[in-house]
Structure 1
Amino acid sequence: METTEVTDLSPAWQDALEAYERHLRAERGLSEHTVRAYTGDLAQLAAHAEALAIRDPAGLHLRALRSFLASQQVRGRSRSTLSRRAAAVRRFTAWMARTGRCDDDAGALLVNPRRHRELPAVLRQDEVRALLDAAAARAGDDAVGARDVAVLELLYATGIRVGELCGLDIDDVDQSRRVVRVIGKGDKERSVPFGVPAGRALDRWLAVRGTLAVDGSGPALFLGRRGARVDPRTVRRMVHTRLEDVEGAPDLGPHGLRHTAATHLLEGGADLRSVQELLGHASLATTQLYTHVSSERLRQAYTQAHPRA
């Protein structure tokens, strides 16, 4: 298997995990990161099941699945990790039943541990302005600097994921309508608008993109120093580095800018379903987290400013 290092498992477990990994990639179209997480969780389930003398995943039962989650809790795994692993197990057993690899879905009654959702850190609007102004001041005539400004502007303007940004091609950007075509999770396509400042930053970057382009650059919108499509790790490092220029700002990565964009949209009066569509959330419940962020920020402002708070 490509993403799961498993040793000393029975042939039945090996076969099932490899087939499920192919299913995640080919049929569900999940990202490499998600496939790696799911298969890693299931590798740990397999090891636990083998310790219980369950040498074939068709022999899984609810007690074994509960025992697996209990062992994870004893090892100090967080509630979010337990929740993810329970979901991975349930999807796996449902797939087993659906494909005829077992008679019953052992995970159908497995309770998903309630996940404690912490409020994500976000930037204030003045901190965003300081971030973008500092990045523009540092850019000068440097092509990489122009790219970084365009990346920051587009991340904040659209709230797209870093993987979605790195996957953009030049033709995905429609400057006349100021929208960008994004391929999100599950290969779902959506169009996301961006504002005038992001459009100007993109124009400046595209004017100098050719200085980094090489024969193998292809249509990639954003390029690394060697001319290849920019890597998400490069973008993450850049965002962390640029935020060091903003005094008092939390240390965020690209996903922090996504949280920030969503929060500022809701604070500005955008409705929840519009923000859900922009972010590409499958569930409205995921987007609703940002209403709690806005409420918390309002409470903090009230506490600091009201004389009788």
Structure 2
Amino acid sequence: MPFKPFTDYLLLEKNYSALTVKAYLNDLVRFSEFVKSEYDTDDVSQVNYLQIRSWIVLLVESGIANRSINRKVSALNTYYKFLLKVGDININPLAKHKALKTSKKIQVPFSEKEIASVLDDAKFKDSFEGVRDKLIIELFYSTGIRRIELVELKLTSFNIHNKTLKVLGKRNKERIVPLLHAVSTTLEAYLKKREDLPSISDEEILFLTKKGVKIYETLVYRIINDYFSLASSKVKKSPHILRHSFATHLLNQGADLNAVKELLGHSSLAATQIYTHNSISELKKVHVNTHPRSKK
């Protein structure tokens, strides 16, 4: 494997998740194929910025979003920094590269009414899949976990006695998230349904398909999209929007920004602050309705 030292560096030194490492390697392989095809070289370490630039132009012309291109270039830049660190190159060809401009997307969270409509009024079937789907939605909204974090949950991730959930986040950073009583109740119901499955291949994994194998990310997306299509007209209906809703609703109710940061598993407050724009509108309403001089 040509990139094994780099893979070990990402996993062991940088502590990146296996999913992130897989994405980085995929970008490197695609770039390697490009330079082999265009410049007839197998040595990615010896390319120059103009050659990299021609790859970026190709990606742009292919219609790939600037945000995705920046991520691919970032993976390549990390690789060159690694080569620089171990002494395989003297100059990082991407040292002076400027990221492509991206438009800031405003993610519109679900309203409390829309979420209540799904959790309180949706007709979840009393079956393995019905109870599983309800638990997935409750977990997203009550803990704010990421989709990949949910997929990777194990039976041992839950402490039923303490009503807590152990989540393995980005860079393998662990965090403990409290569970609401209603979620614990649904969890117990799901575990009983899970025990009745005819066969289970992935014994340690919490969320399974009805065939007893580990649930996958596209299925999780489809579950959220299907249920919220019944209650919301928003264009984007995804697990991330539920995570966004979790953070926004907590902040609207006066939760401390640092506390929300810890619950979300963010490494910095800057990442959490993107959720505050919705809360500002709520604060303005409170300010106007309650300040003594607002009517003057």
Same fold by TM-score, threshold 0.5 exceeded?
yes
Q: 2: CA distance between counterparts of 1:216 and 1:76?
A: 40
Specify whether residues 182 and 274 from structure 1 end up closer, same or farther in structure 2 by C-alpha distance, changes over 3 A only: same
- The yes-or-no answer on 1:154 pairing with 2:152 is no
Aligned length: 286
> 2:246 is paired with a residue of what secondary structure?
helix
Distance 1:78 1:200, change over 3 A: same
Q: 1:268 to 1:44 in 2, by over 3 A?
A: same
* Alignment match, 1:126: 113
Q: Which amino acid aligns with 1:265?
A: L
Letter in 2 for 1:259: H
TM-score (norm 1): 0.80
Q: Which residue of 46, 64, 72 corresponds with 1:77?
A: 64
Contact 1:121 1:250 in 2 (8 A): no
Task: Judge conservation of contact 1:122–1:250 (CA < 8 Å) in 2.
Answer: no
2:227 match: secondary structure: helix
> Alpha-carbon deviations, 1:183-220, whole Å to 9, x = none?
11221111112222222221222233211263544232
2: distance between equivalents of 1:171 and 1:21?
28
Does residue 265 (structure 1) correspond to residue 265 (structure 2)? The answer is no
Give the secondary structure class of the aligned counterpart of 1:138: coil
Question: Whole-Å Cα distance in 2 between the matches of residues 29 and 49 of structure 1?
Answer: 29
User: 1:37 aligned to 10, 20, 23, which one?
Assistant: 23
Structure 1 residue 156: deviation in Å?
0.8
Matching residue of 2:205: 220
1:20 counterpart letter in structure 2 = F
Q: How many Å apart are 1:26 and its aligned residue?
A: 5.9
Change (3 A) 1:178 1:24: same
Unaligned stretches of 5+ residues in structure 1: 2-14, 301-309
| Matching of residue 20 in structure 1 with residue 6 in structure 2 | yes
**TM-score, with length taken from structure 2:** 0.83
1:201-240 aligned at under 5 Å gives the runs: 201-212=186-197, 214=199, 216-240=201-225
Q: Deviations over 1:14-47 (max 9, x none)?
A: x3x4653554456545445434432343344334
Pairwise mapping of residues 1-309 of structure 1 onto structure 2 (< 5 A)? Answer: 15=2, 17=3, 19-21=5-7, 23-24=9-10, 28=14, 30-31=16-17, 33-50=19-36, 51-52=38-39, 55-135=42-122, 137-139=123-125, 141-212=126-197, 214=199, 216-295=201-280
Residues 62 and 109 of structure 1 are in contact (CA less than 8 Å); yes or no, is this contact kept in structure 2? no
Larger mean CA deviation between 152-161 and 248-257 belongs to 248-257
Gaps of 5+ in 2: 286-296
Deviations 1:239-267 (A, max 9, x none): 11111221535441222211111111221
For residues 181 and 235 of structure 2, the distance between their equivalents in structure 1, rounded to whole angstroms, comes to: 26
